[in-house]
Structure 1
């Protein structure tokens, strides 16, 4: 008899059909659940575009902070090294500590618009001669008077002195390529930047470099040199702000573009019933 075989085949077909139907319904239900979870697609797409940007900016600031930290560590290493004799320095390098015995000339200039603790003043640039070599020395900051037309007096030692400091490039020390050209290279003049028109006229040993005095030099004024424009801590603070914005965006997306809040509420309601 072939009837049992037909019955088994029919049962297997019915079982297979029932399984496929159940699987299809489960898949449709899963897709429907995910679609129902997000009810604001424009905001979701906007959040998806903004989130990588905010995170990238945060990590970029962290990288910048690490670069500045490493830069400051290198600067500290150079400044802490034994000062080199200025006359034996063949190739100037930034932040290399130097010392020299010599004397100041009466050739000094007022580098204008220098700020210390919110006060406007000048940095005094003066020629220093050591063993026949002429160097330009930035002695530090001096406050401006109430009358801009009256320049403050500058005192300097007449006897030979030992100075200590570090080498610094002229262009980076001012960062003022857009400033007006130097109108006069006469001693005692007010200048806006360390331009070639000034340094070339002074017959310096290295016209592209000058010496910034350290605070322990006898002839130093107010030094308080700013070694980097932005401290590593500032970059880390910027990174924290970007990450906070990314977190706020995520929370905004969950509350405004999804049904997470409603699902949590319904789940709590079912537990209380």
Structure 2
């Protein structure tokens, strides 16, 4: 009897875990839309980083060139091209470009119009001055001589700024306050001479006279920061993919692997 029992064997089925995918159509569609948006943001930041890098290279290259003399007939210049000028300041006009911070303080950039020998008019950014405690008053600015010579570099518009109502306001006679650097709006203070304005301004160099604080910012955000933002967007896309896998991979207990 015992001999026959030893020959008997019992098979006990052991359940095991099998992983399977269960997709929720709505969840997958939301995932695709969000992934598309995150990847677009990431590649946009990479594109901006390349644009800023190219801008820095162009600026460095242009600074090696000889300055263009705007007092002569050659008025065709590139963005950030070094220039020199000599002309008659339109002393009765003074424009304050508002909302220009410097080292944590609010202030203005001072823009003065200069009539060149050929009759064209160029705006010169003389630099930064601090705002007064009473914002209803503008800081006093030293007058320019009858003839003014200086140098700097040409600065073209980098896109249309967001302007609100009353973006250009005449605070006192021939003293204007402008809320954004819109060239068309800026040159409107020239009235009948508006068509004579050149399509750029001059950022006055530190070596030139009759200027204020001139710490010009070439670009508001360096390429490395754009790259960091791109990594963040791609990282979010990867995290979202992992979350989708965790939500769609389900465990199912089966017997014999069936």
Distance 1:159 1:73 in 2: 38
User: Corresponding residue for 2:113?
Assistant: 127
Q: Which sections of structure 2, spanning at least 5 residues, go unmatched?
A: 1-17, 254-258
For residues 74-95 of structure 1, give each alpha carbon's deviation from its aligned partner in whole angstroms, at most 9, with x where no partner exists.
2332244221111232324432
The alpha-carbon deviation at position 97 of structure 1 amounts to: 1.3
**CA distance 1:45–1:167, shift in 2 (3 Å):** closer
- TM-score, normalised via structure 1 length: 0.67
Superposition deviation, residue 240 in structure 1: 1.0
Q: What does the per-residue CA deviation read over 1:41-71, in whole Å, with 9 as the maximum and x for residues that have no partner? A: 4445544554344334322321221122112
Q: Summarize the Cα distance change of 1:48–1:211 in structure 2 as closer, same or farther, 3 Å threshold.
A: closer
Residue 245 of structure 1 aligns to a residue in which SS? helix
Match of 1:95 in 2: 80
Q: Which residue of 2 aligns with 1:72?
A: 56
What SS is found at the alignment partner of 2:108? strand
- Residue 143 of structure 1 pairs with residue 134 of structure 2: no
Cα distance between partner residues in 2 of 1:39 and 1:181: 57
Aligned residue number for residue 163 of structure 1: 150
Report the structure, 1 or 2, having the larger helix content: 1
Instruction: Check 1:182–1:247 CA distance in 2 against 1; reply closer, same or farther (3 A cut).
Output: closer
Q: Greater strand share, 1 or 2?
A: 2
CA gap 1:147/1:250 in 2 versus in 1, 3 angstroms: same
Q: Show structure 1 runs of 5+ residues with no match.
A: 1-32, 264-273
- Whether 1:238 aligns to 2:224 is no
Change (3 A) 1:174 1:155: farther
Q: Which has the larger radius of gyration?
A: 1
How far apart are 1:144 and its partner, in Å? 0.5
1:57 paired residue number:
41
Which residue, 198, 201, 204 being the options, matches 1:210? 201
CA distance 1:239–1:253, shift in 2 (3 Å): same
Match of 1:112 in 2: 98
Partner of 1:270: none
Correspondence 1:37 to 2:20? yes
Deviations 1:204-249 (A, max 9, x none): 8535332221233233212233334543223212211111111212
CA distance in 2, matches of 1:156, 1:80: 32
Change (3 A) 1:206 1:80: farther
Deviates more, 1:223-232 or 1:65-74: 223-232
Tell me: CA distance 1:202–1:251, structure 2 relative to 1, closer, same or farther (3 Å): same
Alignment CA distance shift 1:243-1:87 (3 Å): same
- What do residues 90-144 of structure 1 show as CA deviations (whole Å, max 9, x unaligned)? 3244322101245645332222332223322111112335546543211011111
* TM-aligned CA deviation for residue 180 of structure 1: 2.2
Greater Cα offset, 200-209 or 99-108: 200-209
